[in-house]
Amino acid sequence: MHPMTDALSSSPSVRGEVDRDTLVQWLNTYLNIRAYPDPSLNGLQIAGTPLVRRVAASVDTSLKTLQDAADSGADLLLTHHGLFWGKPLPVTGPHGQRIRTALMADLNLYAAHIPLDAHPEVGNNAMIARALSLQNTQPFGDWQGHKIGLAGELPFPLSLQDFADRVQKLTGEICLVHGGGQPNVHRLGIVSGSGAEAIAEAAEAGLDTLLTGEPEHKHFHDAFEYGVNVVYAGHYETEVFGVRALAARLEDEFGLPWQFLHHPTGL
């Protein structure tokens, strides 16, 4: 353990800066990153400067988000979709350029994928559920034996159109609606990002509506045949919540200023 860990956890006297290894250890523990068999290399993906004073957050890791993070003076980029997805890649082409950009800027890159969908406080699904005032929430949305989403009840039923409008207000983007279920939305399941495969599970759980991010063609007929409404609010748009909430949590914990780098994909 780094010698600063104890000093910081017992008396957070140096607000506004934190030793990178302490920060990474705190994140790994807070997000419980070892709990998920997620091949996307959750944790510190690129080591940069050993002292972190400023954080940037983004949904994706791209040349643009890395460059913007470096230009903003961030010492660490916190991201939902990192650079590694379970297979070795040569450090060439755009992948190499991304890594080179981070290293040249001495920028740390920390990625939190499934653990940040599933997290009970700052997770994408928890944040959306809170924004929609979902009640009596239960774990929902199986991912490799782990429930990473949430199901619950809206405080009062809304028509499917009113619900889609409510979600649109939340994300700022128009939703794609497949009205396979009853006309009102009351019992809702939420799986951020790519969660269309939860339609069958939603039907089994007696939910009338599934809110997820990205549509997948192979699940089109499921909504109508299982009798579940599906509201697709965008992969990107349903996953801005987690990194922002996590960056805000770091500000609370360590006093680090942060900035969200908004690079919507429209998907």
Per CB under 5 A, the segment of 99-107, 192-200, 201-209, 244-252 that binds Zn ion is 192-200
Which residue number has the CB closest to Zn ion? 193
Q: Which two tokens stand for residue 229?
A: 């409404």
For Zn ion, which is the closer residue by CB, 19 or 117?
A: 117
Q: How far apart are CA 78 and CA 35, in angstroms?
A: 19
Give min distance, CB of 153 to Zn ion, in A.
26
Question: Judged by CB under 5 A, does residue 215 bind Zn ion?
Answer: no
d(CA 37, CA 28): 14
Nearest approach, Cβ of 72 to Zn ion (angstroms)? 23
Q: Which of 62, 48, 65 is nearest to 95 (CA)?
A: 62
Q: Are 188 and 134 in contact (CB under 8 A)?
A: yes
Select the span of 21-29, 165-173, 188-196, 225-233 touching Zn ion (CB under 5 A): 188-196
Stretch that binds Zn ion, among 129-137, 174-182, 185-193, 200-208 (CB under 5 A): 185-193
235 is in an annotated binding site: yes
Of 177 and 243, CB closest to Zn ion: 243
If one asks whether residue 195 binds Zn ion (CB under 5 A), the answer comes out as no
* 193 lies in the site for Zn ion, by CB under 5 A: yes
CB of 22 to Zn ion, least distance (A): 28
Known binding-site residues equal 80-81, 117, 235, 239
Binding residues for a divalent metal cation: 80-81, 117, 235, 239
Where on the chain is the footprint of Zn ion (CB under 5 A)?
193
